[in-house]
Structure 1
Amino acid sequence: MTTATAAPPPGKALYRVHEAMPLLSLSRAKIYQLIRSGRLRTVKEGRTRLIPAAAIAEYVALLEQEAEVA
């Protein structure tokens, strides 16, 4: 099994959910589902939920890893 090094997308360090939607090509509801299930890591600043760029890269790497297994 290959271990992919997850590189964060270029640009910002933290993304709001609506900013991560086009990066991942996912709906708002699907992103919140991934957050609840623990597949997409987030942080909170006050009441705002933010997705670290590294977490987006980790999620993409996870998808690639799962595709290799299947």
Structure 2
Amino acid sequence: MQDDRYFDIIPMKYWDGYTVEEIAATFECDDRTIYRNKSRLVNKVKIMLFGADALIQNVKIVSG
């Protein structure tokens, strides 16, 4: 996961307190790109931390 181009979004957002706009400026991309990749990375971290329980929770949210 650390080799992911957008890996630094997570620490920038949650530990360093950057806004999405500031992160987007750092990556020279659109805010939507940051939102999309932040969500993708958070889902990966959830699975790493909580395993199958995180997957089941995601299915419940998406399906209903």
- Bigger fraction of residues in helix: 2
Same fold (TM > 0.5): no
Give TM-score, length-normalised by structure 1: 0.35
Structure with bigger strand share is 1
Larger Cα Rg: Structure 1 or Structure 2? 2
